[in-house]
Amino acid sequence: MKGRELKPRLYPGKASAIIGPRRSGKTYLLYSIIGADRERYVYLNFENPLLFGITGRDFPQIVDSYFDLYPENIKSEIFFLLDEIQNVLDWEIGVRYLLDEGFKVSVTGSSSKLLSREVATQLRGRAVSYILLPLSFREFLEFKGVKFSKSDLYGRKIHKVKKLLLEYLRFGAFPEVALLDDRVRILEEYLSVMITKDIIERHGIRNVALVESIVKLLLASYSKYTSYSSIHRFLRSEFGVSKTTVFEYLKALEDSFFVFFLPRYTRSEKESQRAPKKVYLVDTGLALFSRKDTARDMENVVFLELLRRKHYQNPLLNVYYYGGSGEKEVDFLVTKSGRVTELIQVTQTLSESFEREVNAIVKAGKTFRCRNLTIVTLEEEDTINRDGFRIKVVPLWKFLLNF
């Protein structure tokens, strides 16, 4: 069985909520929770047409039906695994009922609203949330049947890893895409369903053409700067929409995990909110439907790797960009409990941008007294000493494998 790096736990009295984009492997992760005694696990997929119309108030009846089938388990520990729970009206009532009855509960959902708003407010401290993203490069290699360790760093297997890295950058890391051949058609279907179900239908959006135009803009802008105001100005003449409407549609796209908006690091939260954001896709394969660019793909996968480190390993981490477009920009600034712990530049090659990348990261290192400086390239590896700072130049594959 191919494992995932996210390891959710089930706690007494609390629901474990696994959130993430469609087709990222949430159902598979739920199945991995099931132990040897399968009769004690109740799995319900609320995208199954047979379950349409069920509400949270029907959960006591579901429990009674289970014990009608397995009366011998009345005194056993029972687990409820509830897939795509956001499709259930008043789902929080049903989940609270299960928790009050002493069952262990895990839920999944394809909207970050389930994390930031619904779980946090409706379950009132009775949930632990996890975010699952498409495959890391380590998981991707495992899905491809490649086992790689530090002992392979200087062997011939490294050529296979570098070739798979290019595939990872081009087609992305949704599990099904990694395993099947007709990848472009699969990604096209993912994008269509994400827009239709998780954005238009879920948020009751009527102006489909406007959503499609915003999606095209974001696809063209991945790993670049943007702002709500600039997107509104671009769309205002064609659609005559208000800034509020554009903002609501952008939030819907963010809620669906289609994109992430990376803020600038500043001392002032208000200034950070006003500054331009950088746009990153949940998967670089989606950029096939715009203009693919290897350098931008590299930056996007580094962002997603940093996001996994936050959500899989250490929730105290936060990720920003620093500075602005041009000489002073640092692609990623990482903080832990508010303290700057790492600065990262991403460039395909240092040959044409050496001084710009080095000067920017060293200046930021001085500003924040941070000595953990890294430049990620496609293939180059080196150590640069500048003004008392030691900068690690690391090839992307080695950065993604955490070596």
Structure confidence at residue 1 (pLDDT):
46
The DSSP line for 193-244 is HIIIIIIIITTT---HHHHHHHHHHHHHTTTSEE-HHHHHHHHHHHH---HH
Four-point Cα dihedral 34, 39, 41, 47, nearest 10: 100
Mean pLDDT of 72-85: 94
Describe the crossing of helices 157-171 and 183-193 by its angle, rounded to 10 degrees.
40
Report whether 17 contacts 118 (CB < 8 A). no
Asked if residue 150 has pLDDT above 90, the reply is no
Q: What is the pTM of this model?
A: 0.92
Alpha carbon distance 357, 187 (integer Å): 34
Structure confidence at residue 19 (pLDDT):
87
Structure confidence at residue 111 (pLDDT):
63
Domains and CATH numbers, the chain: 15-131 (3.40.50.300), 182-289 (1.10.10.10), 295-400 (3.40.1350)
What's the pLDDT band for 112 if we cut at 50, 70, 90? low
Coil, helix or strand for 82?
A: strand
Cα 92 to Cα 56, 280, 359: the distances in Å are 7, 31, 52
Structure confidence at residue 67 (pLDDT):
97
In eight-state DSSP terms, residue 323 is S
Structure confidence at residue 327 (pLDDT):
63
Percent of the chain with pLDDT over 90: 72
pLDDT tens digits for range 211-249: 999 999 999 999 999 998 999 999 998 899 999 999 999
Mean pLDDT of 124-143: 91
pLDDT tens digits for range 300-353: 999 999 999 999 999 999 999 998 766 689 999 999 999 999 999 999 999 889
Among 22-31, 120-129, 141-150, 270-279, the minimum mean pLDDT is found in 120-129
Asked if residue 115 has pLDDT above 60, the reply is no
In eight-state DSSP terms, residue 256 is T
CB atoms within 10 A of CB 164: 19
Structure confidence at residue 106 (pLDDT):
95
Structure confidence at residue 270 (pLDDT):
80
